[in-house]
Amino acid sequence: MTSPTPDPDLSHIGPREKAEILAQALPYIRKFHGKTMVIKYGGNAMTDPALQQDFAEDVVLLKLVGMNPVVVHGGGPQIEAALGRLGKKGEFIQGMRVTDAETMEVVEWVLAGEVQQDIVGLINQAGGKAVGLTGRDGGLIRAQKLKMVDNKDPSVEHDVGQVGDIVSIDPSVVKALQDDAFIPVISPIGFGEHNESYNINADVVASKLAEVLKAEKLMLLTNTPGVLDKAGNLLTDLTARRIDELFADGTISGGMLPKIAGALDAAKAGVNAVHIIDGRVPHAMLLEILTDQAYGTMIRAR
């Protein structure tokens, strides 16, 4: 494998400046050594080849300096493309994909096959040791059918098919892999009491996993700079009360709903910091973890 071409944007930085940058990262490396970082990987970071490589290198670096990254991935665009090839069009209710039996089959082979294996390959190529899992492996994610109540009328319940609500997470298999220096890459598919498969929102899986693993940080990569107010300004620091206000006035809606709700649950359950960061920024994760500069929205319980 040929060595990667140096980033031209760094070519003007001399050895002394590079050493200073590394020295500034040292307190963060020390602070987070041995800590678990749950990363929800999605958006442009998953589809742009340069950003894919950046992401893989970031994950490997975090592992090499002693942190424990756990990757949970989405795959909405890839699922949409596969459904399109079959002549099916995706349908969403309140940010959740309606998943009939045929769609569930597509979701499983796209997420657990194509997408997961691409991510595992990228991380391994970057020098890491990644292992792909679904919620079935090691009994990781038990699920039941999601009961979706209408946002505006609580008496109405939407049937979204084989979309799952997490019943429990058994992190044993994830911890075993971490102890053996592997990087788990998890597809958000759960199993029910009758061995049926469930499609679960990847943000929800990442948030719940961060709670169960007592993660230091939960990072959700998105296609936006973070949470924006109605004027389009970035909100860098959000509390539970402020989030309730943003839900109520419609500022947070659509696909952001499960993302923010899960992030808030994780913060309330003891995850020290939840970050919604812009996956379109090269090396966004390293910037968030190893510098004191805010690169998105941080959510805290109070």
Residues 6 or more apart whose CB falls under 8 angstroms from that of 137 comprise 173
Q: Which of 121, 124, 84, 83 is nearest to 104 (CA)?
A: 83
Helices 256-268, 240-248: crossing angle, 10 deg rounding: 160
250 assigned binding-site residue: no
167 within 8 A of 189, measured Cβ to Cβ: no
Please list the residues that pair with 244 across neighbouring strands.
none
254 assigned binding-site residue: no
199 assigned binding-site residue: yes
> Distance between CA atoms of 260 and 215, rounded to whole angstroms?
17
68 assigned binding-site residue: no
| Residue 113: other Cβ atoms inside 10 A | 12
What's the distance, Cα to Cα, between the start and end of the chain in Å? 48
> Distance between CA atoms of 73 and 76, rounded to whole angstroms?
10
Maximum alpha-carbon separation in the chain? 64
Both tokens of 217, joined, read: 């940080």
Query: Which residues does the annotation place in the binding site for substrate?
Result: 75-76, 97, 199
Query: Which residues does the annotation place in the binding site?
Result: 75-76, 97, 199
